[in-house]
Structure 1
Amino acid sequence: MADATATANKQVGNRYERSAAHEILNIDADAPVREIVLTALALFMMWHDRPGRFVDDRAFRMQLARRIRALSSRHRGSRYDHATGRQHHIYRELTPKAGAIIGHKLALVFGFAGLQLAKLEEEECKSAEKSRLTIINSIKDLK
C-alpha cells in the first residue's frame, strides 16, 4: 500500500501507473481482504485447470484485475432514469494499461500461492481417484 500511496501522490509520472495506484487504494479501502485473496486464488486455480479460457497471460491478468476491482463498490456510479423513476448502476471501465499494471501486481502477489494451491488440488483429486479405484477393485475381488 505504501508503494501505491506514493505513486498516487506523485505529481509527475506515468498516468497509467497513477491510475492503477488510485484503483489499488480504492480496492484496499472498500473490499474485504478475505474476498480479495479468495477471488485471486480461485482465478489462479481456474487458469491452471482451464487455460483455454484465457487467450493469453495478458488476458488472464486483465481479468484478474477486473474481478478484484469488482469486489469494491468505488468503481460503480449511479444514474437516475427519469423515464422509469429508478436509479441504475454505471460501471466505470478500467483502462487496459492500468488494468495490465494492476493485474501484473496481483499476479506477483498471488501467483505462486495460487498455482501451488491448484497443484495441491490436482494431486488430491488424483489421490481420491486412486483410492476410489482401489475400493472398486477390492469389491470386484470379493465376488
Structure 2
Amino acid sequence: MADQRWNAVVQLAEGILNRFASGRPGIGWERKAAVEVVKLSRNVAAREVVENVLAMYLMLDMEPRRFVTDRAFRTQLVRRVRGLTRINAREWVDQDSGRLKRVYTELPPRVTRSIGEWLASALGGIGVYLANLEREEVRGRDREARELTEALEGVR
C-alpha cells in the first residue's frame, strides 16, 4: 500500500508535467517539484523511497528535538529522499587532495515545500502509525525488563 501511495505521488507529478506540456498555465515551483519527483521515480525503486520516508518519521518520533518545526522536518525529508540518487549531485576532483568531492544541489524553498507536502500527505500517516507501534514495542520491552529486575530483587 505504501508503494502505491508513492506511485500516486509520481502520477500526480506526471499529471502536472503533462498539463504544462499541453500549454496550460500553472505554478512554476510546482512544475519543478514534479520534475524532481519524476526524476526520482525513474532512478530509485519505490520501496527504497518509502523505507526512507518511514525511517525519517521514526526518527522524528524518537528524536523530536532534532527538527525544530514541521517545515524543517519536511525539508530534511526531501533532502534524504533526493539523496537516494546521485543524479541530484555534482562531482569534481579536489585538486589539493585528489579526492572525489560530491555536493547535492539544493532546491528552492517552495519546490522543497511542495515535495515535502506530497510526501507527508502520501506517507506521513503510515510513518506516524509505525512510530506509534515502535514506541509501544519499546515500552513493552522496558516493562518486561523492569518486571524481571523486580522479580530478581525479590529473590534476595
Query: TM-score normalised to the size of structure 2?
Result: 0.82
Other-structure match for 1:56: 69
SS of 1:141's equivalent in the other structure is helix
Q: Percent identity?
A: 34
Q: Matches of residues 114-125 of structure 1 in structure 2 within 5 Å?
A: 114-125=127-138
What amino acid is the match of 1:134?
Answer: E
Other-structure match for 2:126: 113
SS of 2:91's equivalent in the other structure is strand
What amino acid is the match of 1:4?
Answer: A
For structure 2, the 5+ residue unaligned runs are: 1-9
Other-structure match for 1:7: 16
SS of 1:55's equivalent in the other structure is coil
Which structure has greater helix proportion? Answer: 2
Q: Matches of residues 125-136 of structure 1 in structure 2 within 5 Å?
A: 125-136=138-149
In 2: Cα distance, 1:128 partner to 1:59 partner: 31
**Further displaced range: 106-115 or 133-142:** 133-142
In 2: Cα distance, 1:117 partner to 1:84 partner: 44
Cα deviation digits, residues 87-125 of structure 1 (max 9, x gap): 643432111100000000000111111111111111111
- 1:78–1:88 Cα contact (<8 Å) kept: yes
- 1:61–1:100 Cα contact (<8 Å) kept: yes
How far apart are 1:2 and its partner, in Å?
A: 2.3
- 1:20–1:102 Cα contact (<8 Å) kept: yes
In 1: Cα distance, 2:101 partner to 2:43 partner: 20
Cα distance, 1:26–1:140 mapped onto 2, change above 3 Å: same
SS of 2:75's equivalent in the other structure is helix
Other-structure match for 2:89: 76
When the two chains are superposed, the root-mean-square deviation of aligned CA atoms in Å is 2.0
How far apart are 1:77 and its partner, in Å?
A: 3.1
1:20 to 25, 28, 33: 33
**How many correspondences in the alignment?**
143
What amino acid is the match of 2:145?
Answer: R
Cα deviation digits, residues 30-52 of structure 1 (max 9, x gap): 01222211111111111112221
In 2: Cα distance, 1:67 partner to 1:86 partner: 23
- 1:26–1:72 Cα contact (<8 Å) kept: no
SS of 1:16's equivalent in the other structure is helix
